[in-house]
Structure 1
Amino acid sequence: MTEPNQVWCGDITFIWADTCWVYLAVVIDLFSRRVVGWSMSDSPNTELVAKALTMAYLIRGKPKGVMFHSDQGCQYTASKYRQLIWRYQLKQSMSRRGNCWDNAPMERVFRSLKSEWVPEQGYGSLDEAKTDIGEFLMGYYNKRRPHSYNGYLTPVESEARLAG
């Protein structure tokens, strides 16, 4: 990738909150590894991933022709989601079935989140999780956490250098 908004990728993970798992969908820009969209819910449904994609689409200025890469989870293959991809004029790409390495940058985001940020005992509520994880993704991860992929710049610094 030579600039932002060429390839985004997305995935879902789960976080413990109160007495149950809650689900987090994240979209990153592969150019800088910047988190550009996210959503949390108590259900891992198509609406969850659609909200994360819509956030990315709006935050990034409604770009056309972006390749969106994900696994073959039912949320990403649902007709409602594929229609959203079409409406936004994006292109869809999917990993080989059962191969998490095809979406390794997303797995890295989730590993960082869970090992560096999420409390060991989880969160007391979905609202608490949303607030704290939103700070991690849009604050710490994008603005303060250097990435080896970016030559040890943060995602925001990496994109700013290009705009330079």
Structure 2
Amino acid sequence: MGNKNTGKKYNEDFKKMVVDLYNSGNSAKDLSSEYGVSEVTIYTWIKKFSPMETEDGTSITSDEIAKMKKEMLRLQEENENLKKGSGQICEKVKTTELIKVLVDLQDQHDTQTLCGVLGIAKSTFYQSFKKTESNRERENKQLTKRIKEIYRESKMRYGAPKIHNLLEKEGYNVSVKRVQRLMKAAGLFSIVKKKFRPQSSKTKVMERENLLDQDFTTSTINEKWGADITYINTLRDGWCYLASVMDLHSKKIVGYSFGRKMTTDLVISALNNALDTQHTREGLILHSDLGSQYTSEDFQKLCETRKIKQSFSKKGCPYDNACLESFHAILKKEEVNHVTYLDYKTANLAIFQFIEGWYNRKRIHSGVDYKTPQDIEDQTKTA
């Protein structure tokens, strides 16, 4: 067993991954050897993060118990302080003003508890609430509830424009600005995409024909495709690679391949997956960058055999393949940047769930009139 780096810091995700491996049957000795962490440290993590079963059958960790105890002590102290001062305050404040406070706090705390703290009878509150709550306030409550549901269903990926579009489809008469205000009031914010910064390279690459020339317009599916590769990191297997093929009409990922190496076989597999599921015609344009995988002899032969015309971006110009750059940015923004993948297998499953379960079939796109890629493909086939 090698020396352990006792000065190294580990984030919560790393610790939990190690504990998950231990709970899956790996020994502390093997984990210590594989990840360079002392067995004593691993057992400390196990004690902290391994779930214990409660009387009602649910699981809770010792770390969560400690946090709950700390929170309970804080709440008890706040409650005592509030009780001491609330009596004098409530005597000086009008009941109508106290009712407004109750309305504001109703979504965050138990109504009966609030009434007790502020010295207001529960019946008094409900009678006054019915009188004072406006139609607008009731509508905002209903809207906020539905907004939260859509936000959770999208896994925090949708901002106000997309939520507004879905609300309109459901029959709500509401503006985007109102949705923005309600989301802000509820503390709901979509995941922000980092701006793409192109990187330059001094490597000499032979220029090839750019048939697309940034003209992404199409009249039907399987007329123009885009292809690209992106990188995804895992704890155990290091960097893995995703090769994607997108139909530029529907924005659907029609084929992809996920592998441990960035090879020609990877991009050939992605293209074959697309060809296996799509009915293509002679003259289909496939656009990619000038990477060696796409300019390889084997890949060119496949394109020639399937009557596909290859188109290439200019060196150092990611905007020539903007659709694929955008998809990979969305993938990173909405999935990859928020997860630590243990290995190739777990990352592969997550990518499958994102592409097939979310992006193609559920995620609405502003570029295709707030429809899903699958909707566009289906509509085109039945037109």
Normalising by structure 1, we get a TM-score of 0.95
| Structure 1 residues 121 and 159: CA distance shift in structure 2, 3 A | closer
Conservation of the 8 A alpha-carbon contact between 1:16 and 1:121? no
Q: Which has the higher contact order (CA 8 A, sep 6+)?
A: 1
Aligned-partner Cα distance in 2 for 1:122–1:98: 30
Of 56, 65, 69, the match for 2:283: 65
Alpha-carbon shift at residue 138 of structure 1 (Å): 1.8
Partner-residue secondary structure (3-state), 1:146: coil
TM-score by length of 2: 0.42
Deviation at 1:120, TM superposition (A): 3.0
TM-superposed CA distance for 1:42, in Å, is 0.9
Structure 2 counterpart of 1:99, one-letter code: C
Moved more, 79-88 or 111-120: 111-120
Residue equivalent to 1:4: 221
How large is the RMSD of aligned CA atoms in angstroms? 1.2
Asked if residue 50 in structure 1 is aligned to residue 276 in structure 2, the reply is no
Deviations 1:16-61 (A, max 9, x none): 1124110000000000100000001111010000000000011103
User: Unaligned 5+ residue runs, structure 2?
Assistant: 1-217
Cross-structure match for 2:373: 155
Matched, 1:22 2:263: no
Who is 1:128 aligned against?
A: 346
1:92-111 residue CA offsets vs partner (Å, 9 max, x unmatched): 00001110011011011111
Q: Secondary structure at the match of 1:157?
A: helix
| Secondary structure, counterpart of 1:144 in structure 2 | coil
The CA distance in 2 between the partners of 1:7 and 1:142, in whole Å, is 17
Q: CA deviation at 1:119?
A: 5.1
The amino acid that maps onto 2:293 is: Q
The one-letter code sitting in structure 2 at the alignment partner of 1:78 is S
Decide which of 80, 84, 89 is 2:302's aligned counterpart.
Answer: 84
Q: How many residues matched?
A: 164
Structure 1: which 5+ residue stretches go unaligned? none
Q: Tell whether 2:230 aligns with 1:13.
A: yes
Letter in 1 for 2:276: L
1:102-151 deviations in Å (ceiling 9; x for gaps): 10110111111111112535311111111110111122100000111101
Amino acid at match of 1:67: I
Q: Which has the larger radius of gyration?
A: 2
What SS does structure 1 have at the residue aligned with 2:316?
coil
* Residue in structure 2 matched with residue 105 of structure 1 by the alignment: 323
Question: Which position in structure 1 is the counterpart of 2:311?
Answer: 93
What letter corresponds to residue 359 of structure 2 in structure 1?
Answer: Y
| More helix as a share of residues | 2
Residue type of the alignment partner of 2:357: G
Q: Shift of residue 77 of structure 1?
A: 0.3
